Amino acid sequence: MEPIIRKAKPEDKPFIEEIAKLTWEGEDYLARVFDSWVEDGNLYVLELEGKVIGTAKLTLLPDKVGWLEGLRVHPDYRGRGFGRIVHNFMIQKGRELAEKSIINALEFSTYFLNKESIAMAKKDGFKIVKRYYIMGKAVEEIKPSKPSDSTIASLEELEYEEYIPVGWKFVHKVPEALDWLKEKAIIKECGGTKFMMPKDSESAFVPFHLSKPYVKQLLPCMAQEALKANQKYLEIMVPEERKKLLEPLRELGFEVWDNCKEPNVLVFRKELKF
């Protein structure tokens, strides 16, 4: 029987939970966000003989970007071309949205070790447009403190250029991004310093400013939020052009994943103009 790709339905959740348990040593965020992703739309599943064995999501971001995320294949079915089937389907969906002028490009991010996804993307014309270092620090090393709820009034509060990291999404720093952040991000304050987290995906923390003193002040509050989400590590994204911050952040106990010397998170883009 040939696999089919269709929109996800609420009753698919047990299959998604199974895939999540078998991904990233059981720490995959997919099951946690499944309900909100179904509601948001453009979440698809790959079904084979009545069993959901894969997923993928296309999320609309500011500046007419179609963001690809949540591409998964059940471990028992990997190496059989199913990832490529889903990938091709999502590119076609992107083209359909581009023809309607809803988006003008597809983008996604991935870890540098995800060689299969990177190879597929490059073959299909995606190009690297931004690179980051992802750094982590164990939550158990920090005494937690409760943050207060906060807001964002202007994009100028954010010390990021071109792209704003929100978890593993990277949002263009354009005027409409402000309303998007107000809707999609959780913003917290800690003694005059601010950070944010995505509402509906994996949670890398986003300090409004990147400096050793600023991040140090945020640590107790970020630790509190990490504990609430059952996360073992605080993770933050450092843009490649801010590489000089790596050493000061190491002094706070952060380490670059896999001790990489080069950026380990890659943002890809494929233009879709008609």
Query: Which pLDDT belongs to residue 217?
Result: 97
Record the tokens describing residue 155, joined without a space: 């994009």
- Residue 274: pLDDT above 80? no
Range(s) of the domain holding residue 63: 4-103
Residue 87 maps to a domain: yes
On the 0-12 / 13-18 / 19+ scale of CB atoms within 10 A, 179 is exposed
Domain containing residue 93: CATH number:
3.40.630.30
Residue 92 maps to a domain: yes
> 45-58 pLDDT, tens per residue?
999 999 999 999 99
| DSSP-assigned beta bridge partners for residue 134 | 237
| Residues 14 and 58 placed together within one structural domain of the fold | yes
Check: CB of residue 56 under 8 Å from CB of residue 44: yes
Query: Which pLDDT belongs to residue 80?
Result: 87
User: At 207, is the secondary structure helix, strand, or coil?
Assistant: strand
| Residues 155 and 244 placed together within one structural domain of the fold | yes
Tally the domains of the chain. Answer: 2
Residue 97 maps to a domain: yes
Residue 112 maps to a domain: no
Query: Which pLDDT belongs to residue 199?
Result: 86
| Residues 181 and 260 placed together within one structural domain of the fold | yes
Cα-Cα-Cα-Cα dihedral sign, residues 97, 126, 38, 225 = negative
3-state secondary structure 227-269: HHCCCCEEEEEEEHHHHHHHHHHHHCCCEEHHHCCCCCEEEEE
Check: CB of residue 107 under 8 Å from CB of residue 269: yes
Share of the chain above pLDDT 70, in %: 97
| Residues 150 and 244 placed together within one structural domain of the fold | yes
Through-space distance between the first and last CA atoms of the chain, rounded to whole angstroms: 35
Q: How many CB atoms lie within 10 A of CB 134?
A: 22
Query: Which pLDDT belongs to residue 237?
Result: 96
Residue 270 maps to a domain: no
Q: Which are the contacts of 35, defined by CB distance < 8 A and separation ≥ 6? A: 10, 13
- Residue 29: pLDDT above 90? no
Dist. CA 52–CA 14, nearest whole Å: 9
Query: What is this structure's pTM?
Result: 0.92
- Residue 195: pLDDT above 80? yes
